[in-house]
Amino acid sequence: MSPRRAALAAQRRAWADLLAAGGVESPEFDVNLLLSHVTGRSLGNLTLLDELTAGQVVQMDELVHRRATRIPLQHLTGRAYFRHVELEVGPGVFVPRPETELLAGWAIEACQGLEAPVVVDLCTGSGAIAKAVAHEVPSARVHAVELDEPAYGWAERNLRSTGVDLRQGDMADAFPELDGTVDVVVCNPPYIPLEAWESVASEARDHDPHLALFSGQDGLDALRVLERRAALLLRPGGVVGAEHADVQGASAPGIFVTAGRWSEVHDHRDLAGRARFLTARLAR
């Protein structure tokens, strides 16, 4: 190994150690993403990197120290990647998580075989699910709604030129003109119980909008609203999918079972085997 490459490797280890000391779960990965951001190289091309300029070292030092205080990585880079799309993110919007890609994938699969599926994304946040559906199902007519004003601003940026019908408002009464015509309703609602405040990772608790995180004492208030609104939006036989906390694998689907107007109520696990999202079909 050349002296320059050895010096850079030592610097990368020092940055990773600083992140680890700050409680960051994936320090080496985060260092690589920050290096990619600073140098403009892809992650794959970082292996060819021999040294940084003095300015890049200063920039990395600043970004690593900020990340060590648990500022979300995506707030530092201004970008998040979700399935096959790129999103602008920052303070004021919930940063999309990789596990939500499974819910988006389900919504995309649910559109297959439909000539011009009508899809409604409730609680769109950054617009991640809506943008992914519009990108992967070009024939779909996608509608999205977000209540929080700062988050809505980010969704506007991300959904511009996608053809998605984006509106600011409450999911409880969104898109009344679509009642009875929608094929797929998808939602990543807030679902953390208020009592779980202390257990939430500081990246989320201190930086994500609380409107996107917490939902009543049991974390299920938004899901109850979703169940009622989806029942009105969907055509008979239409489907709904919603993310929930891993401890809600029985209670979240239970809301739909108890309502008595849904069939095929199922819960789905993520790649780690944790309960992640529910799906249901409106009875014909």
Distance CA 183, CA 238 (A): 5
pLDDT band at 282, cuts 50/70/90? very high
Domains of the chain, by residue range, sit at 3-69, 93-282
Whether the predicted pLDDT of 255 surpasses 90: yes
pLDDT band (50, 70, 90) for residue 202: low
**Which DSSP symbol is given to 284?**
-
Query: Which residue, among 171, 160, 256, has the nearest Cα to 211 in the 3D structure?
Result: 171
Rounded-to-integer distance, Cα 106 and Cα 129, Å = 11
Among all chains, which residue has been given the structure tokens 């070292």? 57
Helical axes 221-233 vs 251-259, angle rounded to 10°:
40
pLDDT of 212 reads 47
Report whether 110 contacts 184 (CB < 8 A): yes
pLDDT averaged over every residue in the chain: 88
Q: What is the pLDDT of residues 112-141, one digit of tens each?
A: 999 999 999 999 999 999 999 999 999 999
Do the Cβ atoms of 52 and 8 come closer than 8 Å? yes
Query: Taking the model in full, what pTM does it have?
Result: 0.84
Following DSSP, what letter does each residue of 78-102 receive, concatenated? SEEEETTEEEE--TTSPPPPTTHHH
> Looking at residues 206-213, what average pLDDT do you find?
49
**Least confident stretch, 47-61, 206-220, 244-258:** 206-220
Q: Domain 93-282 has what CATH class?
A: alpha beta
Q: What top-level class would CATH report for the domain 3-69? A: mainly alpha
